[in-house]
Amino acid sequence: MLVEFVDDRRCFFCGEQNPRGFSLRFREENGWTVAETVVPWYLQGFAGVVHGGIVASFLDEVMSHSVKHAGISAVTGTLRVKYLKPCPTEKILMLRGRVQRRKGRIVAALGEILYDGERVAEAEGIFVVPKDKGSEKP
């Protein structure tokens, strides 16, 4: 089954047309795709700590944008997250992602969340170029 992925600008994380989302703005900085955000308290797990599912979602999002910024159209295949330290709510967090390598339709990416210059979470993602998109960048 072929699914058409349409960007209607309502993505929860980066959609400028989603009034309830984060409206993240990504940029390139020293080889990384980067964005900053503040996570509100109501997305916590434990008091003052961002829920782990939200952390994983941010990592997926920043890695996905690093793949997109590399000119590759791909979807998440696998996501492996390491939670290093509690990720605080109501503080400025830096999201960073970059493409590590590509082999055929498989793209490997790295992602990090930093608070006050220290990594609080990191991830490795495998992204897959759909068969109909395989003609883009080798």
Helix, strand, coil percent content, the chain, rounded in steps of 5: 15, 40, 40
Whole-number percent of the chain with pLDDT over 90: 80
pLDDT of 82 above 60: yes
pLDDT of 13 above 60: yes
**Residue-level pLDDT at 2:** 57
CATH of 27-130, one of 3.30.70.3270, 1.10.760.10, 3.40.50.300, 3.10.129.10: 3.10.129.10
Which secondary-structure segment (H or E) carries 35? strand 32-38
Report the predicted TM-score, pTM, of the whole model to 2 decimal places: 0.91
The residue count of the chain comes to 138
Q: What is the pLDDT of residues 18-66, one digit of tens each?
A: 899 899 999 999 999 999 999 999 999 999 999 999 999 999 999 999 9
C-alpha–C-alpha distance, residues 124 and 66, integer Å: 12
Under the banding of pLDDT at 50, 70 and 90, the label for residue 105 is very high
Give the number of other CB atoms < 10 A from CB of residue 80: 11
Contacts of 111 (CB under 8 A, 6+ apart): 59, 60, 62, 63, 66, 95, 96, 97, 122, 123, 124, 125
Q: In terms of Cα–Cα distance, which of 105, 114, 95 is closest to 138?
A: 105
